[in-house]
Structure 1
Amino acid sequence: MTRRTHAGRSVAVTGALVLALTACAGGSGGGDEPAGGGGDGGGEPLRIGTLLPVTGSLAQLGPPEIAGVDLAVDEINEAGGLFGADVEVSHKDSSDAQNASVATASAQELISEGVSVVVGAASSSVTLNVVDDITGAGIVQISPANTATNLSGYSDFYFRTAPPDSVQGDVLGNLIVSDGASNVGILVFNDSYGTSLRDVVADVVTSAGGTIVYGEKGQEFDPAEQNFSTIVGDAIAASPDALVILTFTEQTPLIVRELAAQGWDMSKTYFVDGNLQNFGTEGETGFPAGTLEGAQGTLPGAYPSEEFQERMRGVDPDLTEFSYGPESYDATMLAALAALKGGDSSGETIQANLAAVSGADGGEECTGWQECADLVEAGEDIAYQAVSGVGPFNDANDPSSAFIGIYQFGPDNTYTFSRSEEGEVPQD
């Protein structure tokens, strides 16, 4: 039986639910003992908390991320759990940076519950608000979606299974240049996610001989902005041959409608992970058919296989988006494998063994819980093969490599996979 808590409600879920997302030997300890094997958490069940968006401007990411965690937990528990007990998970809402008190309260609840790992947040700005409290309590924080470059190496207890903006920004900038654009406008909100990604894209474009005609430093808009008439008008007046929208989904429909109203060719528009969504043709987020046809977007992570998508739907049958689901699955698997390798479920032990189980020290490649756990229990070093395609953790606790998917919108304003590019994560 898998025990879950959703915002203070205990939910017992029985049955077989199997799903997977984006994570065993050779830890940081010395001698014959596994790293962290003598920690205080021995004999205790592994308690995982999630800090993921149920409400707010990134709420579309919550369902696949939560499903990814639950899929991994179900897979582990169906195989007998960890240390003779089921892995437990407690889900809390992170909301967004405009509702910072939600994440603050949720983080304190998870700390009080005694979790060893927190999977989240999705927003880099939200993480920056709570990471000191979480990691300061000796709890490992693993984000499946943070991309801000200033989080690289932030804390020994902070990891992420999504690459920093240096990778997505590089792929996006080169995509724009390869499409023939040289005068690029960027509609960017004043948030660490947006400005970090803007800086990388701008560097790629200008290094290729292009120009950023709108969206330089000082031309960001307020994350709470609701009227984009002047902002869009100024961007179009700068005569760009491509426009990048760097904001979250709450404002994106307003921007798209204003761009269309002012006659912008939407096929020359580029989206990113924070706002790439199947907008469709109906409802509050829908547009008239053909509005986004030809527009493109980028999204970190290898494209999830049909099999993995079906496994995720086994956890949440209503899923229509899969963004960062694999990364959430991987974060959960990595944490559990690190605990197994170290011999207990404490945050200190998990932190000491995460890099090793990700393959940072080499080892035998393995996938899923059963295969990897069998190798760890046999004393083998492993290299967990992440569903999201990320490489082992580097010295900054970032994935050492990652895939970035490139997607294109069709006439129904939904996107389909085009191709993916693999990039290395640079280290200072």
Structure 2
Amino acid sequence: MLVLALTACSGGSDEAGEGGSGSGEPLKIGTLLPVTGSLAQLGPPEIAGVDLALDEINAAGGLFGADVTVVHTDSSDAQNASVSTASAQELITEGVSAVIGAASSSVTLNVIDDITGAGIVQVSPANTATSLSGYSDFYYRTAPPDTVQGDVLGNLIVSDGAANVGILVFNDSYGTSLRDVVSGVVEESGGTIVYGADGQEFDPAEQNFATIVGDAIAAQPDAIAILAFTDQTPLIVRELVAQGWDMSKTYFVDGNLQNFGTDGDTGFPADTLTGAQGTLPGAYPSEEFQGRMLEIDPELEEFSYGPEAYDATLLVALAALKGGASDGETIQANMAAVSGATDGTECVGWEECSALVEDGEEIAYQAVSGVGPFNDANDPSSAFIGVYEFGEENTYEFSRSEEGVVPES
């Protein structure tokens, strides 16, 4: 199907608040999500979240009389920056008005100037680096910055009785940003970071963790947090076990929280991770929403950031509808409003929310991921952080959620 090229002059901020009265061109979005690389486990649920939102929109008649279309591309990771660079250029050439992605904060930092500089709205479902808060008027995220997850993780470690904390952190903007927040929480509570301070990061390409783990354990921590991605984490876990560390005193984060299991390259012997815990931004998705995602991708094994990707896609479409046009400037001008930043009637899903917009009403989209309206830095103003615990099969189960407010930048 031929998709008409989108223009950057079919609305703009002058169209804000038109209640969907315009007759915009078809909306084309792009995705920049990890199909390969160290965050590849996040790609399937994020892509399913986008596709689920598009199915919902198009089943209800689409937008401006046409289906919303998508161009999927691979972001890979920061160690393969040429992949995201090429994908971003492809999406710009394709004439998309919005990009959902990237998952990695470092990948976003590699391409954000090109994407937003082209007048394209970028919405990440998973970026958490604090340096991205308020980076560009055209950049948004439906995951909270590390100030929220770091606060919950730091308090979780302290509440479990740890006073001396070790942090195994890679030298990546995601890892160091989260480390800084966790360290602040621990130290404010009277605790000490005995390993993993500034200057003690490891190279993201590191493959031998014997010395790194040995140095961390030698510092006599009460708990160890692993702030890395999934390609390094199995190596770290195996080294911790080999050096006699009590894995129940280990903490994971969104970048490496996965169902490791007992088989394959990422699996461990049964009972290896029993009692270990991890944190993951976002409200725990309901069984109904998980079922809808499984209809999109029956092979999904995890749902991390799928709700955030779904929310990002619906917010982009609702912003276009509100402004009456599908270009990037119009979408940017209406993103905050449809998220509920200007109050409005609470609504759920495309059909309910779009009907209100078409009636000229202000809306407050109720995010499946539980995030609050965008603040002045284009971050969600509040968010839930899930706490999970590993069982005997090295898979994690939901324990509880904690809601946090995102500090104003």
Q: One fold, TM greater than 0.5? A: yes
**What residue in structure 2 maps to residue 194 of structure 1?**
175
**1:111 equivalenced with 2:95 (yes/no):** no
Counterpart of 1:227 (choices 202, 205, 208) is: 208
Letter in 1 for 2:281: P
Instruction: Give 3-state SS (helix, strand or coil) of 2:351's partner.
Output: helix
Partner of 1:13: none
Secondary structure, counterpart of 2:103 in structure 1? coil
* Distance (whole Å) between structure 1 residues aligned to residue 247 and residue 399 of structure 2: 18
Corresponding residue of 2:377: 396
Number of residue equivalences: 401
| 1:54 alignment partner, SS class | coil
State TM-score, norm by structure 2: 0.96
Among 44, 48, 68, the alignment partner of 1:67 is: 48
Q: 1:43 aligns with which of 10, 18, 24?
A: 24
Question: Could you list the per-position Cα deviations for residues 238-287 of structure 1 after superposition, in whole angstroms to 9, with x for gaps in the alignment?
Answer: 00000000000000000000000000000000000000000000010000
TM superposition score normalised by structure 1: 0.92
For residues 129 and 280 of structure 2, the distance between their equivalents in structure 1, rounded to whole angstroms, comes to 14
Q: Contact 2:319–2:330 at 8 Å: present in 1 too?
A: yes
1:261 aligns with 2:242: yes
Query: SS at 1:299's partner residue?
Result: strand
Matches within 5 A, 1:67-86: 67-86=48-67
Q: Distance in 1 between matches of 2:167 and 2:195?
A: 6
Match of 2:312 in 1: 331
1:342 aligns with 2:326: no
* 2:123 equivalent to 1:142: yes
Question: Which residue identity lines up with residue 44 of structure 2 in the other structure?
Answer: P
Matched, 1:317 2:317: no
**1:279-309 deviation line (CA, Å, top 9, x unaligned):** 0000100000000000000000000000000
What is residue 283 of structure 2 aligned with on the other side?
302
Q: Is 1:34 equivalent to 2:18 in the alignment? A: yes
Tell me the residue number matched to 2:159.
178
Determine the C-alpha separation between the residues in 1 that align with 2:285 and 2:325. 31
Q: Which amino acid aligns with 2:79?
A: Q
2:143 corresponds to 1:162? yes
Q: d(CA) in 1 for partners of 2:145 and 2:19?
A: 28
SS in structure 2 of the partner of residue 323 of structure 1: coil
1:414 aligns to what?
Answer: 395
The counterpart of 1:236, out of the listed 209, 217, 223, is 217
- Structure 2 counterpart of 1:57, from 33, 38, 41: 38
Residues 1:379 and 2:363 aligned together = no
Structure 2: tracts of 5 or more residues without a match? 4-11
- How many angstroms does 1:37 deviate by? 7.5
| Partner residue in 1 for 2:7 | none
Looking at structure 2, the residues matched to 208 and 110 of structure 1 have their Cα atoms a distance apart, in angstroms, of: 46
Contact 1:2-1:88 within 8 A present in 2 as well: no
Match of 2:269 in 1: 288
2:252 paired with 1:271 = yes
Asked whether the 8 Å contact 1:37–1:349 carries over to 2, the reply is: no
Aligned to 1:12: none
Contact conserved, 2:21 with 2:358, CA < 8 A, in 1?
no
Q: Is the 8 A contact 2:18 2:360 kept in 1?
A: no
Superposition deviation, residue 44 in structure 1: 1.5
C-alpha offsets along residues 7-57 of structure 1, whole Å, 9 cap, x if unaligned? xxxxxxxxxxxxxxxxxxxx9758x9628987xxx5311001000000000
Conserved in 2, the CA contact under 8 Å of 1:122 and 1:144? yes
Corresponding letter in the other structure for 1:176: I
Alignment check: 8 A CA contact 1:50 1:118 kept:
yes
Superposition CA RMSD, Å? 1.6
How many Å separate the matches in 1 of 2:260 and 2:172?
23
Question: Are 2:388 and 1:426 equivalent residues in the alignment?
Answer: no
Whether 2:231 is the aligned partner of 1:250: answer yes
Partner of 1:6: none
Question: Partner of 1:18 in structure 2?
Answer: none
Q: Please tell me the residue identity of whatever aligns with 1:298.
A: T
Q: Percent identity?
A: 82
Aligned residue for 2:341, secondary structure, equals coil
The one-character-per-residue Cα deviations of 1:138-179 (angstroms, maximum 9, x if unpaired) are 000000000000000000000000000000000000000000
> For residues 317-372 of structure 1, what are the alpha-carbon distances to aligned partners after superposition, in whole Å with 9 as ceiling and x for unaligned?
00011000000000000000000000000000000000000000000000000000
Counterpart CA distance in 2 for 1:182 and 1:33 is: 52
Q: Which amino acid aligns with 2:18?
A: P
Name the structure 2 match of 1:370.
351
In structure 2, the partner of 1:19 is none
Q: Distance in 2 between matches of 1:106 and 1:382?
A: 33
Cα distance between partner residues in 2 of 1:350 and 1:344 = 8
2:305 partner amino acid: Y
The residue aligned with 2:8 is none
Q: Is the 8 A contact 1:36 1:349 kept in 2?
A: no
Structure 1 stretches lacking a partner, 5+ long: 4-26
Q: Are the aligned partners of 1:68 and 1:328 in contact in 2 as well (CA < 8 Å)? A: yes
Q: Could you tell me how far apart the structure 1 residues matched to 2:142 and 2:27 are?
A: 20
Matched with 1:89 is 70
**Is the partner of 1:394 in helix, strand or coil?**
coil
Contact 1:29 1:35 in 2 (8 A): no
CA distance in 1, matches of 2:117, 2:89: 12
Separation in structure 1 between the aligned mates of residue 244 and residue 189 of structure 2, nearest angstrom? 28
